[in-house]
A = this chain, B = another copy of it.
Amino acid sequence: MTPATAVDALAALAQETRLKVFRLLVTAGPVGLAAGEVGAQLGIAANTLSFHLKTLSQAGLLVARQEGRFIYYAANYASMDDLIAFLTQNCCNGVACLPKTSAMATTAKRRKNSLKEYA
């Protein structure tokens, strides 16, 4: 992750509507949601939503796939991970400065839930 890429991603998230959209898609899982569904759930006009989805996609935070007339958007977990790694790089020299972050996805949790759940 380059500084420029990180700035793009952060700028994309630094807007109320886009942050709502992103968080909705983060909880929605890898399958994602159709654009219209996102708009309906959050009460956003189609053209405005399209603008914000484009911004998030260009920043690499969302991936889009077409299915018939619908376009599904899903969170790009890998780039979110890269962004967080970039922000916390060399933080505190390994001391426990980020308790919530480290608790969030422990090795134990990872072992308990397999990726196949989404297959």
B-binding residues in A (CB < 8 A): 3-4, 6-7, 10-11, 13-16, 19-20, 22-23, 26-27, 29-30, 75, 77, 80-82, 84-85, 87-102, 104-107, 109-110, 112-115, 117-118
Contact = CB atoms under 8 A, between A and B. Distances in A.
State the copy count for this chain: 2
The secondary-structure label for the interface of chain A is: helix
Contacts of A30: 92, 97
A97 B77 CA distance: 6
A96 B95 CA distance: 23
A22 B30 CA distance: 31
B27 A3 contact: no
A80 B115 CA distance: 28
